[in-house]
Amino acid sequence: MEKLSLLYASALFDLAMEKNVIGDFLEQAVLLRDSLSDAACQRILIHPHITVAEKQDFLRKAFADNIHEDILSFLYLATEKNREPFILSALSALISMIERHMKKVKANVFFAVAPDERQLTVMKKTLSEKIKKDVEISYEVDSSVIGGPYIFVDGYYLDWTVKTRLRDLTVHMKEGCSA
């Protein structure tokens, strides 16, 4: 499944580059992935008794005004070839390819309490400068961290939590006492 999804994603990526619409493809792929992830949409696309024509009509009515004709052609091809289960993974792969190309990354940040907009803005700017990529931040609240964030970004794990600093201090003190 992954190989076919990557094949579709690569073809769409190449078309986006060739036609210089990479940013548009990113926005539209995100829109499609998020929309088609809905359970009702999945039931329509996967249902064995809904014809290809009906599925394509659904896709045309729902998205033709909002997505590039090449992406719509991909959706039609997937329905014609009975490959609807590959659509979401192909769109996700396309999004990843484009984000890598555009040097965009997502950071998953965990805070003890919900941050305000200023904190998120400062963190985004700091991370972007450090890794030299455009960072999009999503966050969750994890009260176990006590204070300070921990971050997963671009394959890295950064831990600035009070919990970890206290643990490290405890280990350091125990090592110092035993010497």
Orientation angle between helical segments 22-36 and 69-80, nearest 10 degrees: 40
Alpha-carbon span 140 to 73, nearest angstrom: 37
Place 178 in a pLDDT band, splitting at 50, 70 and 90: low
Query: What is the residue extent of each domain of the chain?
Result: 2-100, 103-178
State the chain's mean pLDDT as an integer. 90
> Which is higher by pLDDT, 29 or 166?
29
- Res. 144: pLDDT tops 90: no
Mean pLDDT within 73-89: 94
Output the CA–CA distances (angstroms, integers) from residue 129 to 49, 52, 101, in the order listed.
52, 48, 18
CATH number of 2-100: 1.10.520.20
Place 138 in a pLDDT band, splitting at 50, 70 and 90: very high
Percentage with pLDDT > 70 across the chain: 98
Mean pLDDT within 14-34: 95
Q: Contact at 8 Å (CB) between 115 and 139?
A: yes
The answer as to CATH 3.40.50 being correct for domain 103-178 is: no
